Amino acid sequence: MAANEEAEGQTTTVQVGDIVDFLLQASLVWMKSSLHFWQRGTGVFATHFLEILRTLQVMNADPTRRTEAQGILIDILRAYFREMAELPGHESRRFLAALEKIDGKIWATLRGGPDIPPQRRWQVKS
């Protein structure tokens, strides 16, 4: 069983094994990307959580510094939410770059030539 695909005016036959190989590699990259995402998110949370605890400790220990500590707490929370909001975008760009690398290797093998960058079929919001 083979699937046909038009590429630069010529027909290339893709074997089912090549498709399965791509899907397996893509699945492994996806799992690695998911683990990296959660690892990074946990690291961001842990870093900012410790800062929040320290700030709350200062706020409770010294009532004269309460206003200053509240300002610091707001800055810490703002930084935390900004980093967490940027994390999916960074990881999706890493994931798509890895997919394009796999896709490029497969096309180079099928064409029997140099690693020609494949046409991008997906878009990432930046």
> Whole domain around residue 58: which residue ranges?
2-111
**123 domain residue, yes or no:** no
**71 domain residue, yes or no:** yes
**21 domain residue, yes or no:** yes
Tokens representing 86 are: 């940027």
pLDDT digit string (tens) for 46-80?
A: 999 999 999 999 888 988 888 999 999 999 999 99
Tokens representing 113 are: 């030539």
Beta bridge partners of 64: none
**118 domain residue, yes or no:** no
Tell me how many helices (H) and strands (E) the chain has.
Answer: 2, 2
**99 domain residue, yes or no:** yes
Site of tokens 């999916």: 88
pLDDT digit string (tens) for 5-55?
A: 444 555 556 678 877 888 898 899 999 999 999 999 999 999 999 999 999
**104 domain residue, yes or no:** yes
Q: Is the pTM of the predicted complex or chain greater than 0.75?
A: no
E runs forming strands in the chain: 2-7, 10-15
Residues 6+ apart with CB under 8 A from 4: 11, 12, 13, 14
**38 domain residue, yes or no:** yes
Domain count for the chain: 1
**13 domain residue, yes or no:** yes
